[in-house]
Structure 1
Amino acid sequence: MTTQAEQAQRLRTLHTQPPLVLPNAWDAGSARAIESAGASAIATTSAGVAWSLGVADGGGLSLSAAVGALRAIVAAVSVPVTVDIEAGYGDVAATVTAVLEAGAVGINLEDSTGGVLDSAAVHASRIRTARAAAVAFGIDLVINARVDTYMFGDGDRADTIERAHLYADAGADVLFVPAVVDAPTIRSLAADSPRPLNVMAGPGAPSVPELVELGVTRISLGPAITARAYALATAAATELLTTGTYDALA
């Protein structure tokens, strides 16, 4: 049986053999499906987990609910699991310890709270706290530090790179800049990032091979698959209950 420490090392190694492509999961069933499709690791989406439990993203998901979903996902797959812990659910050290106890070997940690960009110093402190908790636990946790300057800020490139260096110095292993899909910006960020760059792809973004050519190491989809799955459920149910037909399921 693969140990948690071995899974952590596997996840870390995957970042040295790009691209690491992560179609994000939200429950045990989606994680199994994604693993079956050939994924080398599973990343959760906090939005997807929240929606699957009937609550809103960005504050609706509690730590206990997130950890419960994580345990089910870890138990369902054999590949490394990295978990989206939003901005850390308040007590970052306790959160990191809880997700490590549940079997995670990586985290995604955001520098925004409730859609508002936090100060870089605050987030750097979170990263240092997360790293210290992981060291105390004895797992070489992969920390993916999310930089929300384009998602919730003004898209200032200088601020993004300054935050990237600060977060890297604080202990981040990967830097995640969502809401950027144009090739010139991605290439520029990848060139100046002090750590491997993660982008969130989807319709309108460059393809995986193109992203790799631009210098991207890690590619994820965020809640896109979850949103599409629930959109299909809504469309099929609406059709069934109104016209009594099934075309949405064809």
Structure 2
Amino acid sequence: MTDISPGSSDLGAKAATLASLHAAPEILQLVNVWDVISAKTVADIPGTKALATASHSIAASLGYEDGENIPVEEMIAAVGRIAAATALPVSADLESGYGDPEDTVRRAIGVGIVGANIEDQMRPLADAAAQMESALRAGGSEGIDFVLNARTDAFVKAGDRDPADVLADAVERGKTYLAVGATSVFVPGLLDEHAVTTLVEAFGPQRLSVINVPGSLPPSRLQELGVARISYGPWTQRVALTALADSARELLAGGALPEGTLPLN
């Protein structure tokens, strides 16, 4: 059993809370964070019920390109600092598991993480399913019902394939991951209403997880369609960096800091 630090106490209860938030009729919105101050800022906003990290954003903040270029030790340290900074349940984006999903998830639990995204990267389905099973095994060995948001990259890696075939792949892969014990299936991409409806019908209500990007369906409509969870990936960091760039441009042109700026740090 993992030796849980005091700041990450009662992980079983946090995992149960995170799972229940996915199953609730009200859609779970996770505003992604990448370090302690972004986590504390989002956690303090009324309506925030849980936190999710963004691997792309964490990697960028530490000088790495996205796509498992960050060493696993640095990723675990980063998500651990976030988990220790809040009493809320934290789900971590652990990419494809850094070569060993079971060990990576076990290490993440050890620093207070109770759920994770694991990418299939469109590996052969049997291999991808085994990958998801190994992540869940880590939760069992550590004594918690780990909340796996199993990600399929069917749309992300679609290229110029027929959209109907891409959607069929996402359905097949998602149903397979749910069958091995995933809590939800994450299908990133700019999904239209037909795709969302098809996926919800295939998986069941409150089992589909999506990312919202510019042009996505609004949260209210996604909730009506039976989606479990919305996250925002690297876009929240992009919002912050856009504000920084705009302020720097204004300051260098002789302007002033924006009115209403808060001392959130």
Equivalent position of 1:206 in the other structure = 217
Equivalent position of 2:80 in the other structure = 71
Paired with 1:66 and 1:226, the residues of 2 have a C-alpha distance of 17
Query: RCO higher in 1 or 2 (8 Å CA, sep ≥ 6)?
Result: 2
Q: Do 2:175 and 2:202's aligned partners in 1 also have CA atoms closer than 8 Å?
A: no
Displacement of 1:58 in angstroms is: 1.0
Equivalent position of 1:53 in the other structure = 62
Equivalent position of 1:25 in the other structure = 33
Paired with 2:148 and 2:68, the residues of 1 have a C-alpha distance of 21
SS at match of 1:51: helix
Paired with 1:65 and 1:238, the residues of 2 have a C-alpha distance of 32
Task: Kindly indicate whether residue 167 of structure 2 is the aligned counterpart of residue 162 of structure 1.
Answer: no
SS at match of 2:57: helix
The code of the aligned residue for 2:155 comes to Y
1:134-173 equivalences in 2 (<5 Å): 134-153=139-158, 154=161, 155=163, 156-173=166-183
Displacement of 1:213 in angstroms is: 0.9
Q: How many residues align?
A: 244
Paired with 2:80 and 2:189, the residues of 1 have a C-alpha distance of 29
The code of the aligned residue for 1:80 comes to P
Equivalent position of 2:3 in the other structure = none
Equivalent position of 1:96 in the other structure = 105
Displacement of 1:145 in angstroms is: 0.4
Task: Kindly indicate whether residue 186 of structure 2 is the aligned counterpart of residue 176 of structure 1.
Answer: yes
* From 187, 194, 197, the counterpart of 1:187: 197
Equivalent position of 1:44 in the other structure = 53
1:111-130 equivalences in 2 (<5 Å): 111-112=120-121, 117-130=122-135
Paired with 1:134 and 1:157, the residues of 2 have a C-alpha distance of 30
Task: Kindly indicate whether residue 245 of structure 2 is the aligned counterpart of residue 228 of structure 1.
Answer: no
Paired with 1:19 and 1:83, the residues of 2 have a C-alpha distance of 19
Displacement of 1:13 in angstroms is: 1.0
- The alignment yields a C-alpha RMSD, in angstroms, of 1.7
Displacement of 1:96 in angstroms is: 0.8
Paired with 1:160 and 1:182, the residues of 2 have a C-alpha distance of 14
SS at match of 2:23: coil
- TM-score, normalised via structure 2 length: 0.87
Q: Do 1:93 and 1:130's aligned partners in 2 also have CA atoms closer than 8 Å?
A: yes
Q: Do 2:190 and 2:213's aligned partners in 1 also have CA atoms closer than 8 Å?
A: no
Q: Do 1:44 and 1:84's aligned partners in 2 also have CA atoms closer than 8 Å?
A: yes
Displacement of 1:235 in angstroms is: 3.4
Paired with 2:125 and 2:254, the residues of 1 have a C-alpha distance of 53
Gaps of 5+ in 2: 1-5, 260-265
Paired with 2:200 and 2:70, the residues of 1 have a C-alpha distance of 32
Displacement of 1:118 in angstroms is: 2.1
Gaps of 5+ in 1: none
Q: Do 1:181 and 1:204's aligned partners in 2 also have CA atoms closer than 8 Å?
A: no
* From 255, 258, 263, the counterpart of 1:245: 255
SS at match of 1:89: coil
- TM-score, normalised via structure 1 length: 0.91
Displacement of 1:60 in angstroms is: 2.2
The code of the aligned residue for 1:83 comes to A
Equivalent position of 1:8 in the other structure = 15
Paired with 1:226 and 1:63, the residues of 2 have a C-alpha distance of 21
Q: Do 1:180 and 1:186's aligned partners in 2 also have CA atoms closer than 8 Å?
A: no
SS at match of 1:199: strand
Cα deviations by residue, 1:17-67 (Å, 9 ceiling, x for unpaired): 131111111111111111111310001110111111121111222211111
Paired with 1:33 and 1:76, the residues of 2 have a C-alpha distance of 11
Runs of 4 or more, structure 1, over 3 Å off, are: 238-241
